[in-house]
Amino acid sequence: MKKTRLISWMVCLLAIAAAAQSKPAADLVIINAKVWTVDKAQPNAQAVAVIGERIVAVGSNADVQNWRGPGTRVMDAGGNLLLPGFNDSHVHFISGGAQLDAVQLNDATSAEEFARRVGERAKNTPKAEWILGGDWDETKWNPPRLPSKELIDPVTGDTPVFVSRYDGHMGLANSVALRLAGITAKTPDPPGGVIVRDGQGNPTGALKDAAMDYLDKAIPPLSHEQRLKAAKRALAHAASLGVTSVQNMNPDYEDVAVYSELLQRGELITRIYAAPLITQVEDQTRIGIRHAFGGPYLRLGALKAFADGSLGSGTAYFFDPFTDQPGNHGLLSDEMHPVSLMRDRMVKADAAGLQLCTHAIGDQAISMILDIYSEIAKAHGDADRRFRIEHAQHMAAKDFDRFAQLHVIASMQPYHAIDDGRWAEARIGHDRASRTYAFRTFLDHGVRLAFGTDWDVAPLNPMLTIYAAVTRATLDGKNPDGWFPEQKLSVAEAVEAYTMGSAYAEFQEKEKGSITSGKLADMVVLSDDIFSIDTAKIRGVKVLKTIVGGKTVWDAAAEPGR
């Protein structure tokens, strides 16, 4: 009997040994990490094993050692924090890449500095080329005032200029650009747009929302090579910041073609979900694309719509007028003229299984989009459609419940809160401001959050986004304890919104968003533990390594100068 048992034990041991030998060796093993998985079934770990593009094991160093083989690459995290890769739920990727090389105006603190920088760029701009980009912010000037063409005409000569306000809802043209666009005192304001005029009715050069279309038609489109260069700059920038996925709002189809080319070359190191404009709904319905169509690196199936403008440009659409502009309720976008046109496009998109992502900032604009979403849900019945409202900045109190009931995702950008918080109350008053960027109220109502940046409107850096969400400390230093601090999130909540929340917003929660066995191996190693340091220091935390699909696409130690 004893001999039989001994033989049985020996057989078992041999079987275990055989099984161990048959287990494939990992391509990558990360050890000695402080792993925050964003997986509630296993919140913390010490090590991760990867085969190919997928995570195969998450556990202790000892657990993962079993996956090591002769060819396994071992990364010692040295006790640093390991997170899932950040997924930015709202970017403008090509324009962001282009802006990295464009004239930089956002930190210009006076009109004089603004003009000086534009003039310097004009000196080095080849004949017939345009000066674009800019991202100016007149609220940083003293006194804050909208710039006019008279500010830049003397320093730009024959060079056409159209530089955008940082929110993307206003731009400034010089006289050359206005002439090329055919804009005069007789040019009418288009639906959803405003040509800012002086006391005599002449254009000042500032154009709001749909009025910018006049200029856009005059600007030569980017060449394929220019788009390719901008895409590569954007990909490298994203990798350096730990951004492994982005949801690209209103790209041109030419942008998507560039992504496809880079994918074919094996150079697409950021995963992209592209959402072209809803005005192009016929294109995707005609070929039968549905939400989240494509592969791990490039997908389509969402549409971006615009309901209104922005707070800073005075074009966000409110029930009540702006406090500092009593006759101004804001503007509905040109896509909402008439509202039935937007409704028809959305109905068609939803019927085809496409996802709707709608820019809505003012409380009335948000409410109108919720009305349309409700009508669609009633007409088409239950479905996993994941309606989104992009920004969802200024909520009417009555609409938080509707957000939850309709399962609408709040795709939000916390950095805007600490930026707009410098001046928002002067524009809309204390009561409305108390429901601005209402992260906590959304969570308390059971609304899913998906975090991003709106790059290039705001910096792409996730550390600034998390810092903004957990401190709400405005950029002017006047609210160190937080602007409407009751809306603060914990670091864990902010990270979850930036990983699992964003993954859910693009139908990819089973593929990414957490460090879980079976998911894509997209991870980031940080210089500091953002869960334990003073929250004020989060904005200074650096990315040490960025891993996409098991491959290191950014290594700070390998960068020149380190």
Q: Which of 137-151, 212-226, 337-351 has the highest mean pLDDT?
A: 337-351
Q: Which residues of 498-531 are buried (b: 16+ CB within 10 A; e: fewer)?
A: bbbbbbbbbbbbebbbbbbeebbbbbbbbebebe
pLDDT digits (tens, 9 = 90+) for 231-240: 999 999 999 9
**What is the C-alpha radius of gyration for the chain, rounded to an integer number of angstroms?**
25
pLDDT (mean) for 127-144: 91
pLDDT (mean) for 192-211: 94
pLDDT at res. 22: 59
pLDDT (mean) for 322-332: 96
- 486 pLDDT exceeds 50? yes
pLDDT (mean) for 274-295: 95
What pLDDT band is residue 167 in, cutting at 50, 70 and 90? confident
Cis peptide before 296 (omega within 30 of 0): no
- 15 pLDDT exceeds 60? no
pLDDT at res. 166: 87
Report in angstroms the alpha-carbon separations of 10 from 3, 19, 21, 22: 11, 14, 16, 18
Q: Which CATH architecture has domain 94-216?
A: Roll (3.10)
Nearest to 56 by CA among 530, 520, 548: 520
What pLDDT band is residue 561 in, cutting at 50, 70 and 90? low
Contact 303, 284 (CB under 8 A): yes
Assign residue 314 a region: left if phi > 0, alpha if psi is -120 to 50, beta otherwise?
left
pLDDT digits (tens, 9 = 90+) for 424-475: 999 999 999 999 999 999 999 999 999 999 999 999 999 999 999 999 999 9
| Own/partner long-range contacts of 531-539 (Cβ < 8 Å, ≥24 apart) | 531/36, 531/81, 531/491, 531/492, 535/467, 535/470, 535/471, 535/491, 536/467, 536/471, 536/473, 538/463, 538/466, 538/467, 538/470, 538/471, 538/491, 539/463, 539/464, 539/467
What pLDDT band is residue 18 in, cutting at 50, 70 and 90? very low
- 16 pLDDT exceeds 60? no
Q: What is the CATH number that goes with domain 2-79?
A: 2.30.40.10
What pLDDT band is residue 559 in, cutting at 50, 70 and 90? confident
Angle ∠(531,536,539) on CA atoms, nearest 5:
80
Between 18-22, 149-153, 509-513, the lowest mean confidence (pLDDT) is in: 18-22
Contact 366, 394 (CB under 8 A): yes
pLDDT at res. 560: 64
pLDDT at res. 14: 44
Residue for token pair 């039935």 = 340
- 60 pLDDT exceeds 70? yes
Contact 548, 85 (CB under 8 A): yes
pLDDT at res. 45: 98
Q: What is the mean pLDDT of the chain?
A: 94
In three-state secondary structure terms, 102 is coil
Between 99-113, 375-389, 510-524, the lowest mean confidence (pLDDT) is in: 99-113
- According to CATH, the topology of domain 224-511 is TIM Barrel (3.20.20)
* Amino acid (one-letter) located at 454: D
Nearest to 249 by CA among 3, 74, 505: 505
Chain Cα centroid distance, residue 330: 24
Hey, where are the domains in the chain? 2-79, 94-216, 224-511
Total count of residues recorded for the chain: 562
Distance CA 241, CA 235 (A): 10
pLDDT at res. 377: 97
pLDDT digits (tens, 9 = 90+) for 185-199: 999 999 999 999 999
Residue for token pair 């998911």 = 519
- 226 pLDDT exceeds 70? yes
pLDDT (mean) for 29-33: 98
Residue for token pair 């005075």 = 314
First to last CA, the chain: 68
Both tokens of 525, joined, read: 């190693």
